[in-house]
Chain A
Amino acid sequence: MRCVTSVALLAVMAAPALAQQEPRLWVDGAWARPQADVARPSAAYARLVNHGSDTIVIRRIGCSTAGRAEIHETVTENGMVRMRQVARLSVAPGDTASLRPGGMHVMLMALRTPLVAGQTFTCTLFVRGGGHVDAEFTVRAP
């Protein structure tokens, strides 16, 4: 099962990148696109693995580098592409939510500083029930 494999892989290989608190959501491979112009948005990506036994619902996200951050999804219908906001993202136990180019992403708006390759910043994922998870994102080219 892919999710189980992912969890095992994370446990062995990606421990430094994990942000594991209660709730048991692991954030792996977190990165963001460089953006020199603070007037324009950037996008951040990661894999979110629910390592716990309860569904985790991410209801809000905040990032140190952005005045506003939202989870968005790129959708293509009838040859047209657009974005829509994902108000709540639910990850079932053992499941993985992949935020990746062309799909879901964290849209970083009102950047406080340019995003330069090599920089890191923190995003906090607020989950239903009051918990939160902090994750470090690295700015890099795709």
Chain B
Amino acid sequence: MALRRSVVPTRFWLLAALTLPALVGGCSRETGPPAEPVRPAFRLEEYGGRVLDLSHERGRVVVVFFGYTNCPDVCPTTLADFLSVKRRLGPRADAVRFAFVTVDPGRDSPDVARHYAAQFDSTFFGLSSDSVTLAGIQRQFRAASWVGTDSTGAVVVAHSASTFVVAKDGTLLPPVRGDFTRIESLYQAVDGALRH
């Protein structure tokens, strides 16, 4: 391929490269299902009063993505995929909760997160918390994120690429990788979870 890209190096990425593996606790865990069933639990109140409490979602499938609203590419792509999957599921989507959880609570207040998710579909949860709560939630999903600044002072964010699916019995299913096949993979994961 003769296409060449020249990339601006930043101190941020060096730091991120050093710290992210420690935060994630070994990103290779995302490559397969957990050895033991994991049942993540969190309760977050959305701006406006709606609550997503995983312990109250037994019998429903919950789809979770960790992103941020200033993300112009991956996050809107993922939420657009959520909408495509929801439409494809038809009435069965009533048994699915789609949730966007911001990894950038410093900029994404609860109302911002709610408004962002609602742009895609009014039923989607848009959730924000505080950094400590967020870290606890991400740990359960074996997800991670990093918010910092680059050499120009611009905010930069790294976050887990995967989408997470919680089955009807509350167990965490293998993560759906964030690549170009994600929309089909996500549909298959949610469809399969609904059938079990």
Contact = CB atoms under 8 A, between A and B. Distances in A.
Interface of A: 33, 36-37, 40-43, 55, 72-74, 76, 78-92, 95-97, 101-102, 104-105, 107-108, 141-142
Chief secondary structure at chain B's binding surface = mixed
Which one of B5, B30, B69, B119 has the highest number of Cβ atoms from chain A below 10 Å of its Cβ? B5
Interface of B: 1-8, 10, 13, 16, 20-21, 24, 27-28, 30-31, 69-74, 76-77, 80, 115, 119, 144, 146, 156-162, 178-180
B5 A73 contact: yes
B30 A105 contact: no
Contact of A82 (B115, B158, B162): B158
A82 B73 CA distance: 10
B5 A80 contact: no
B73 A102 contact: yes
A126 to B, nearest CB: 15
B178 A88 contact: no
Contacts of A102: 73-74, 77, 178-180
A29 to B, nearest CB: 16
A43 B80 CA distance: 14
Contacts of A82: 13, 16, 156-159
